[in-house]
A and B are shown apart, each in its own frame.
Chain A
Amino acid sequence: DSGVTQTPKHLITATGQRVTLRCSPRSGDLSVYWYQQSLDQGLQFLIQYYNGEERAKGNILERFSAQQFPDLHSELNLSSLELGDSALYFCASSDRRGGNTIYFGEGSWLTVV
């Protein structure tokens, strides 16, 4: 158990819909990262927050957004969903801005039908 908690574990939704994935980082960790894992793209970095502020941005679509709240939990919002958004979404956390060990949650499986 890494200490990073993600909900829901599985989610099935229809195209065009919007979903929210939630992440609670390890106790004391200030950085939260979101990654997408798909068969064709592998593990892709989406976005990082540090202590409530966006720090780094990767290959995140405009239809996707994220935020980190004062209690340090984070949410990833996916809207206007397409079939190609079906993937495993990971949240990860670390205790620094970066360059240290990053621990991953179990992931949220999203299936868009």
Chain B
Amino acid sequence: AQSVTQLDSQVPVFEEAPVELRCNYSSSVSVYLFWYVQYPNQGLQLLLKYLSGSTLVKGINGFEAEFNKSQTSFHLRKPSVHISDTAEYFCAAYRGGSQGNLIFGKGTKLSVKP
């Protein structure tokens, strides 16, 4: 069964520090991978996506992620975070076929402290 695992439920970090949010997926077929961000009391916003091609994907707000097929990972990174990046981040994988839909990880709460 395909699943998405976010290894950290909470990540506290100081402002201007780098951050990495980890995501691993399980699948024996090609996958489409996504990161979404949910700011407090708001909906889900697409941060970036990997469909094919270059394994380094750049998204909005300075975030990037690297698809690593051998390690089945899709970690999200930002070299310098801001207070405004405080939010919950969700990694998701698209499961195709007759049950096509996005499967989400449980989320990582990023807390940026001054």
Contact = CB atoms under 8 A, between A and B. Distances in A.
To the question of whether A and B form a pair in one complex, the answer is: yes
Interface of A: 2, 33, 35, 42-43, 45, 48, 55-58, 90, 92, 97-107
B109 interface: no
A79 B98 CA distance: 27
Interface stretch (B13-21, B43-51, B61-69, B70-78): B43-51
A42 B45 contact: no
A99 B101 contact: no
A100 B33 CA distance: 10
Interface of B: 32, 34, 36, 42-46, 49, 51, 90, 94, 96, 98-104, 106-107
A99 B44 contact: no
Interface residues of B: mostly helix, strand, loop or mixed?
Answer: strand
Contacts of A104: 36, 43-46
Shortest 9 CB-CB distances between A and B: which pairs?
A98-B100, A106-B43, A104-B44, A43-B104, A45-B101, A107-B43, A42-B106, A56-B100, A56-B99
B49 A55 contact: no
A58 B99 contact: yes
A100 B107 CA distance: 21
B51 to A, nearest CB: 8
B44 A58 contact: no
